[in-house]
Structures are given as structure tokens and as C-alpha cells.
Amino acid sequence: MDSMAQRPDRDSQIFIIGCGISGIGAAQKLIKHGFHNVRIIEATARSGGRIRTGRLGDNIIEIGANWIHGPSKENPVFRLACDYQLLDKESMSEENQAIDIGGHPLFVPNWFTSSGRKLGPETMGPALEFFMTLLERSQQFHSTGGEPLPSVGEFIKAEAERLAPEEWKEDRDNFAVRMAMINTLLKLECCVSGTHTMDDVGLGAFGMYTTLPGLDCTFPGGYEGLTDHMMKELPRDIVLYNKPVKCIHWNYTKNGPNTGGTSFPVTIECVNGETFAADHVIVTVPLGYMKKHQNTFLSPSFPLHKLHSIQRMGFGTNNKIFVEFEQPFWDEDCELIYLVWEDETHLTDVVSDLKMSWIRKLTGFTVLKPTERFGHVLCGWIAGQESEYMESLSELEVLQTVTQLLRIFTGNPTIMPRKLLRSQWFHEPYSCGSYSYVAKGCSGYDIDNLAEPLPLKGSNSKPLQVLFAGEATHRSFFSTVHGALLSGWREAERLISHHTSASGSFSSKL
Ligand code: 6YU
């Protein structure tokens, strides 16, 4: 019999790999339930993972997660942020919580085109409404069943080409620029989904992503305030920083460090050669990292169906380019700037020549508000391979290209950003991109496969040796902070209930 069985359950040695919000959330819950041998192993020197607040001059900016999506009572991130008093009054108001935007906030727009024109809502508004309708229709196949085309991109393009001539027949003069606007919106949708092209996003599964009510809000003091507050509730030495994990050996396949005669089913091997023995490991590394290291991260390797889901599920890059100006070139009430390439009337959301034309993928800028706090700062959004290529350029090259772009679109040859800062999520070795999406050919079962603990049910081995959390493992809130947090809680609860049922009265003692 395994000697572990003689140790009290709450003495179980539990390691969490990754100190992002899912890992922190899992640790918090386990410790609250009396598990005291909990450690987090983190590859980098910081906690927070893809929640990362930075600075552009005096301004607080978000390099990673930006908004609480759907800030209302059902959202655990919103609840925590309220408890920690991290939000302003307006974000917490009942009125804001009741607004249902369906995942796409209605920003006040400005439109600029590649001939240096600034167009108004009478010209561009109909294209925006038309696109939103197609997007909503794309989300419905999940509940109605059926999938007329395999991807969201193919569906939207086919429907736009079929319906637009009739839709805009009264206004033939603006037909071409509206079709070009559909391209702009497709490119921006790549940023929302975190993908290279909407042709990669599965149509039937698109509606699986669930939105919560509430008008998306930001953290005035930075998103990292949330993880910082959560960390303060954990024991001080719980995190082992700067220790990238190389391989998780499970099912007693490697002898761990000297553990005084106790045998542990799992041994965690770090890149620096250190090893840690564990009863349970909760893996929270990003799906992008898992894809890259799929052949070496686990020994014995992933069961085939789990491996195939890791390969099939989507994980892409969405980057931000912050630019600060002396004076705004946008309207005072503007919240989102669209750039429309007038020559792109043929529908496609990818750019063929990365080196020459990567900048064509940068079609949207949000305006950082309030102006009294930020001054005149824009956040540009760019996704996909163009975004990954942008990361390989020097900051100066990016600044020069963005300046040229804005000079063309505003028709003002003297525009000159004061400062620029961009994120580089694809080249972050422990993220390997931004977030997950349900790729063409995938379904909720792939997400379930990612979340499935090892060994698989029905095995005679010691149960729950390796568990899996992280945003990509949440069926309806993947790609978000609240999805990540809930996934960490889910795996902590899995262990708590396992030990509760194993020891009968465990939880009632707490
Ligand atoms: C949200 C938002 N937002 C913008 C950008 C990004 C993301 N998200 P973590 O990676 O945090 O932690 C894992 C840790 O593991 C990490 O610390 C690693 O260092 C460590 N690690 C890795 N390998 C290791 C090893 N070998 N050994 C040890 N440690 C290791 N979410 O709610 N609002 O506005 C945005 C945005 C640029 C990059 C976002 C947003 C995503 C979140 O940031 C992300 O999900 C969580 O932070 C992940 O936490 P975690 O713990 O899982 O991993 C219809 C439809 C479409 C569906 N999409 C809807 C759109 C929603 C997406 N949101 C928009 C994006 C923005 C703007």
C-alpha cells in the first residue's frame, strides 16, 4: 500500500505550476480549506502572469488583460475587485452592472480612411451595424446546431458578399468603403478572439463563449492590484520564483528528492535541475506554452485524446501598441478609432506580405480615458502573424511605421507620437501568445479534454496526480481573467472534495 494513505489528507503535498490568477486562486482556496503544504512554482520573477500593469511615462497602462468583461455580481473578478475596493464608483453602480453589451462595448467611434478622409456615422454606421448583426448570427449556431460553413470568417464574408448589395442599394457611392470597413472589423475581431484570421475560429463553437451583464470596466490603479491583493492573503513564502518547470513526471516514473521513505506519485523537475515531490500538481501554464512543449512537459506523455485537443485548440497573439501624442487628432468624445483601407474592398482579414504590409493589420485604437488622467494616449490593437512579426522589429521601427500610418490616415504629414510602447506576448517564453480560442473543428469536448485530470478515470493508479487549470480550460469563459480564476477554483475544489470524500469528515473539521 502506498505510504501516502497513512498521512492525513490535509498534509498532502500540492504544487501549483504558474502564478497567474488561476494558480493564485487555486492556492487561496486550498489554503482556506486547511491544506498547508501548498507551493506555487513560477517560471518568472513575478506573479500575475498575463495580468501585467506597466507605465508609459507617468501613465498606468495594461500590457496584458485590460477590462473586467461583464462586471456584475456573477463575475468573481468583479466581486473580488469590489471587495478590495479597486474600482471606481461608476463601475460598481447597479446601473452599469445591468447593461448587457453582449461582449462588444459600444464605443463612440471616429473613422479615418487611407485617402486621409475622416468619415461620419452616416457613411460608416450602417457597415458597423451590418457587421454586428452578422457577428450575432455567427454566435447562434452553437444553440441552434448546424454549421453552414466551418469558420466565423468564412460565414461573415459569404453573408456580407451575399447581403450587402441589397442592404446598401440606396447608397452605391459608399458601397466600396463600407466593404473595406467590414475588412477593418474582421481584423479587429481577430484581436477580440486572439487569432490570426477569423477563418481559423470555429463557427459552431463561437457561441460557446458566454458574456455576462455589465459595462466592461478597468482598474484605475492597474489590473495587477487584483493579483497583488490576492497574493497578500497567501503565506509569504508560498511562491518559488524563477523556477521554470521542465517536466512533470507522474505515476511514480521518477524518484523525487529524498522524501524520508515516503513515496510520492509525482516528481516536478525544474530547468535548473531541482526536483520537488508531490501528491498533486495543478498545472496552470498557458495553452501556448503547452503546445510548444507538448512532447517534453509531461512524462509519461499526454494521453492521445488530450494531446490532440492541445494541438487542435487555438491559441493566438493579440498585442497592444501604446502611442502618446502632444495633441489629439480625434474628437473629444471619441473612444475608438477605426482605420479603413479604401483599396481593401475584397473581403479578407489577413495580410499577404508580412514584411511590407504588417501595419495593415493595425486597424483599431482605443482612446485611454479619462483624458485628465492619461493625456492623449491611444492603444492600438494588432493580432495574428502580423502582430508576431511586429514583435521582431525594434521599437524605433514600429514607431516610424505607426507614425507613417497615422500621417496617411489623418492627412496630416506632421503628426508625431511622443512615446510608444508595445507588448510582445508571442515572444514571452512562458506565455507564447495571448489567449485561447475555439479553433475550426474544435468543440467544448476539446476544452473538457484539456481540463481532464490524470490519471484518467478508471485507472487503478493513485487519482488526481496532475490537474489542469488556466483560462483555456474553461468552457464558457475561456480567454478571460474570470475564466482563469474560476478554473483555478474548480481544480482546488476537485482536490478538496476528493479528500473530503476520502476522509469523510475532513471538511467538517474546518
Ligand atoms: C480579460 C481583458 N485582455 C489582453 C492581452 C492578453 C490577455 N486577457 P497566466 O498566463 O496568467 O499564468 C500562468 C503562469 O504560468 C505565468 O505566470 C507563467 O509565467 C507561468 N508559467 C508558464 N510556464 C511555466 C513553467 N514551465 N514553469 C513554471 N511556471 C510557468 N482577459 O478578462 N480581460 O481585457 C483581457 C487581454 C494582451 C495577453 C488578455 C484578458 C486574458 C487574460 O489575461 C488571461 O486569460 C488570464 O490572465 C490568464 O490567467 P492564467 O492564470 O490562466 O494564465 C465571441 C468570442 C470570442 C472569445 N473571446 C472573447 C474576448 C475576451 C478576451 N479578452 C480580451 C482581451 C484583452 C483585451
Q: What's the CA gap between 128 and 174, in Å, rounded?
A: 13
In a domain, 228, yes or no: no
Number of domains in the chain: 1
In a domain, 358, yes or no: no
Tens of pLDDT, residues 334-390: 999 999 999 999 998 888 899 999 999 999 999 999 999 999 999 999 999 999 999
Single-letter residue type at 78? F
Q: Is the pLDDT of residue 24 over 80?
A: yes
DSSP string, 91-123: HHSHHHHH---TT---PPEEEEETTS-EE-HHH
Q: What is the pTM of this model?
A: 0.96
In a domain, 44, yes or no: yes
Judge contact between 123 and 177, C-beta under 8 A. yes
Mean pLDDT within 189-211: 97
* Angle at alpha carbon of residue 496, lines to 490 and 501, rounded to 5°: 125
Q: Is the pLDDT of residue 327 over 80?
A: yes
Question: What confidence score (pLDDT) does residue 7 get?
Answer: 56
Tens of pLDDT, residues 418-452: 999 999 999 999 999 999 999 999 999 999 999 99
Which of the four pLDDT bands, split at 50, 70 and 90, describes residue 508?
A: very low
Question: What confidence score (pLDDT) does residue 405 get?
Answer: 98
CA of 483 to the centre of ligand 1 (A): 10
Residue nearest to atom 37 of ligand 1 (CA): 64
In a domain, 364, yes or no: no
CA of 11 to the centre of ligand 1 (A): 31
Residue nearest to atom 53 of ligand 1 (CA): 20
Sorted by sequence, the CB contacts under 8 Å of residue 447 that are 6+ apart come out as 309, 313, 438, 472, 473, 474, 475, 478
Mean pLDDT of the chain: 94
Mean pLDDT within 134-160: 96
Among the atoms of ligand 1, which is closest to the Cα of residue 244?
A: 27
Question: What confidence score (pLDDT) does residue 453 get?
Answer: 98
Question: What confidence score (pLDDT) does residue 5 get?
Answer: 43
Question: What confidence score (pLDDT) does residue 410 get?
Answer: 97
Which of 231, 382, 423, 481 is the best mutation target for the ligand 1 pocket, counting ligand atoms within 8 Å of the beta carbon and taking the most?
A: 481
Question: What confidence score (pLDDT) does residue 10 get?
Answer: 82
In a domain, 31, yes or no: yes
Residue nearest to atom 39 of ligand 1 (CA): 65
Distance set, CA 277 to CA 89, 149, 258 (Å): 47, 48, 9
Question: What confidence score (pLDDT) does residue 509 get?
Answer: 34
Domain span at residue 280 reads 3-50+240-314+439-509
CA of 376 to the centre of ligand 1 (A): 27
Calculate what percentage of the chain has a pLDDT beyond 70: 95
In a domain, 251, yes or no: yes
Q: 341: left (phi > 0), else alpha (psi -120 to 50), else beta?
A: beta
Q: What's the CA gap between 420 and 482, in Å, rounded?
A: 29
Mean pLDDT within 43-62: 97
Tens of pLDDT, residues 277-310: 999 999 999 999 999 999 999 999 999 999 999 9
Which of 242, 285, 422 is the best mutation target for the ligand 1 pocket, counting ligand atoms within 8 Å of the beta carbon and taking the most?
A: 285
Q: Is the pLDDT of residue 255 over 80?
A: no
In a domain, 426, yes or no: no
C-alpha cell at 413: 504629414
Among the atoms of ligand 1, which is closest to the Cα of residue 318?
A: 37
Grouping H, G, I as helix, E, B as strand and the rest as coil, residue 324 is strand
Q: What's the CA gap between 454 and 462, in Å, rounded?
A: 9
Compare 241 and 253 and report the one with higher pLDDT. 241
Tens of pLDDT, residues 89-113: 999 999 999 998 776 767 999 999 9
In a domain, 345, yes or no: no
Q: Is the pLDDT of residue 256 over 80?
A: no
Judge contact between 325 and 338, C-beta under 8 A. no
Q: Are β-strands 318-325 and 419-422 bridged in parallel, bridged antiparallel, or unpaired?
A: antiparallel
Q: Residue 39's domain is classified under what CATH number? A: 3.50.50.60
